[in-house]
A and B are shown apart, each in its own frame.
Chain A
Amino acid sequence: MALPKLKSDVTEARLAGLTLPAGADWATEARQAALGRVASMGLPTRRDEYWRYTDPAALTAPEAPAAAVLATDETPIFGAVDRIRIVFVDGVFDPAASDDLSETGLEVEFLSSAMSKDIHWAKDLYGVLEARGQKPVDRSLAALNTAFATQGVVIRATAKVARPVNLIYLHQSETSDAMLHNLVRVEAGAEVTLLENGPAAARFSKVLEVDIADRGAFHHVRAQGRDHQRRAVTHCFARLGTESTFKSFTLTVNGRLTRNECVIELTGDDSVAHVAGACVGDGDDFLHDDTVFITHDAVGCESRQVFKKVLRNGATGVFQGKILVKPGAQKTDGYQISQSLLLDDDSQFLAKPELEIYADDVACSHGSTSGAIDETALFYLQSRGIPRKAATDLLTLAFLAEALDEIEDPALAEDLRDRLEGWLGRRR
């Protein structure tokens, strides 16, 4: 079937300047297959239902729109945590800034190296979960990433890994256009924590594919960079085996355009997936979009989505969250909440929560709310001498707390909470 004119124009224009990277045969096949998916789906346009609230034009444009680099003298995020740092500058690995990668129970390799080997486990993961995630909704920007990304890490955890892996994405060039594709394979009973932080580039496309074997656990905490003009589209595809765990939290402050898609398949019985996000947006050129799709395809699984956004000065927040319970996925426990705190009338929150259930013994609930600041609480705080701005910040943090509480590691949670408090405190 031919693509609509706009879609095919956009797709052609974007593909014109790109060439498939070289690699092992299997890698080339995977990339060609991904390119095929892009060609048949076409890149997203505003006319797509899935992009109704978020204009993808800047994400599909042939050139990355420029984004100023934010100067900051802050201490590094997660700096107090004993972690393995892997640094990318504008999407390119910087060995000098990175740590030694040896750690018990952990294998870390770079994408380019893995993709050039004739035999590599990455063959069974690269583009595989992304391709599975293309149904029932197109995620062609992820396929584009699979086809053309050359940078990224390939991580395998074979035991409980003591230190978290921290991917640090620095942004230094105002016109950088970065593509990263990361793979994580958590073997049976293994456990690993992945930390990600930084704006990465003027425009950033990132795919993370996570395959968790039985009883494995994957923890993910991310802080997307605060550079005001940066744009990002990120996809996380996860597949969960029996009794495995996936927990992901994202903090987004600033950034002009952020689309975070999370696509999770619970394929093993009694597995657990939690996704959460806290977002603070400011200004009418701010748009933050969380799009989540969770498929329950096994018995006794639990999924939980907790998304909170604070918006002001005309900022826009989007949430599209779906829980799909397949036939036979009995004893499913699905929970989804998306809430926004609108600090003024100009800001807006657009939410599309969806449930689709084909099993009868399930407990699923979802809720979405949008509200202004509680004036009664505000007055109470002010009447105790707390200035209006500080009182608003306290209530804002209180609102976001429910999402931050989803972070399991108290040290990581504390770090992000403190920073958030500092950032809010500095705003006028």
Chain B
Amino acid sequence: MLEIKGLRVKLEAEDKQILKGVDLSIGAGQVHAIMGPNGSGKSTLSYVLSGKDGYEVTGGTATLDGVDLLAMEPEERAAAGLFLAFQYPVEIPGVGNMTFLRTAVNAQRKSRGQEEMSAAEFLKEVRAKAKTLKIDADMLKRPVNVGFSGGEKKRNEILQMAMLEPKMCILDETDSGLDVDAMKLVAEGVNALRSEGRSFLVITHYQRLLDHIAPDVVHIMANGQIIKTGGPELALEVENNGYADILAETA
């Protein structure tokens, strides 16, 4: 599904290398987790994959089902099936959450040559999905993320993911800021979407989310590289011992 080879990225504005050769291969239907110290480049990886400005790819490749992601506009990547649940979801005053969601769903359908969803059909679906995430009608009416609590923003990301039905989902610290119940809701939302044709890359600092969303593979990122890859037990090791041992062992 997602193939990243030797990805090197620097900041456009300054001469600072952030990703220093990242290799990652996620098969269809798999769930991978990335853990790693603050500032190791996890969010940068997710931004570069989704096409945010300000980064310069200085080497390597990233493909989604064989298609070169890095050559595409952000909206084209989304239409190709990539989705990023932001670490910090963006507030957009003046744009209603519903309008936003519907525009996004229909834009993607259009670019895939599908018919637009009717207003009624859309409303029905969004209401049903919002309900399972305990997002109330009022939140749907409000401007995108404006005045949402941290946890509400994260749930709103998952709602968007559920509506857009991407095939490659990147979740950047979707668990941070969530209370225990909300974390369960979000995990259930993610698990409901798990399928053979859909893969997940879950960026997190905590084992707890991985208790709910069992990963197939866990990677440790440090200083712009994946320094260790293992099974779910690797996350437990980090939870118990921190990164010191792993960093020492790979240094």
Query: A residues bordering B, Cβ < 8 Å?
Result: 374-377, 379-388, 390-391, 394-395, 397-399, 401-402
Contacts and interface: CB of A to CB of B under 8 A. Distances in A.
A386 B94 contact: no
Contact of A385 (B52, B53, B95, B108): B108
A384 B100 contact: yes
18 contacts: A375-B53, A379-B51, A380-B89, A381-B92, A381-B104, A382-B74, A383-B50, A383-B75, A384-B100, A385-B108, A386-B103, A387-B107, A388-B73, A388-B75, A394-B103, A395-B95, A397-B95, A398-B93
Interface in B93-151: 93-95, 99-100, 103-104, 107-108, 111, 143-144
Interface in B67-98: 73-75, 77-79, 83-84, 86, 89-95
A398 B164 contact: no
Contacts, number: 80
B75 A386 contact: yes
A391 B100 CA distance: 9
Instruction: Tell me whether chain A's interface is mostly helix, strand or loop, or mixed.
Output: helix
Contacts of A395: 92, 94-95
A386 B78 CA distance: 9
Given A377-B92, A379-B74, 14 more contacts: A375-B53, A379-B53, A379-B90, A383-B50, A383-B52, A383-B78, A383-B84, A384-B160, A385-B164, A387-B75, A394-B99, A398-B93, A398-B94, A399-B94
Closest 10 CB pairs of A and B: A398-B94, A385-B78, A384-B104, A382-B74, A385-B108, A380-B90, A401-B94, A382-B75, A398-B95, A385-B107
A423 to B, nearest CB: 17
A412 B143 CA distance: 22
Nearest to B54: A375
B100 A394 contact: yes
Interface of B: 50-53, 73-75, 77-79, 83-84, 86, 89-95, 99-100, 103-104, 107-108, 111, 143-144, 160, 164
B38 to A, nearest CB: 21
Contacts of A401: 94
Contacts of A375: 53
A386 B104 CA distance: 5
B115 to A, nearest CB: 16
A380 B88 CA distance: 10
Contacts of A385: 75, 78-79, 104, 107-108, 111, 164
Contacts of B79: 385
A374 B146 CA distance: 15
A402 B79 CA distance: 31
Nearest to B104: A384
A391 B95 CA distance: 10
B94 A382 contact: no
Nearest to A380: B90
Nearest to B91: A377
Contacts of A386: 75, 103-104, 107
B118 to A, nearest CB: 18
B53 to A, nearest CB: 7
A380 B103 CA distance: 13
Contacts of A384: 78, 100, 104, 107-108, 160, 164
Quick one: which of A390, A398, A402 has the most chain B CB within 10 A?
Answer: A398
A237 to B, nearest CB: 33
Nearest to B50: A383
Contacts of A402: 94
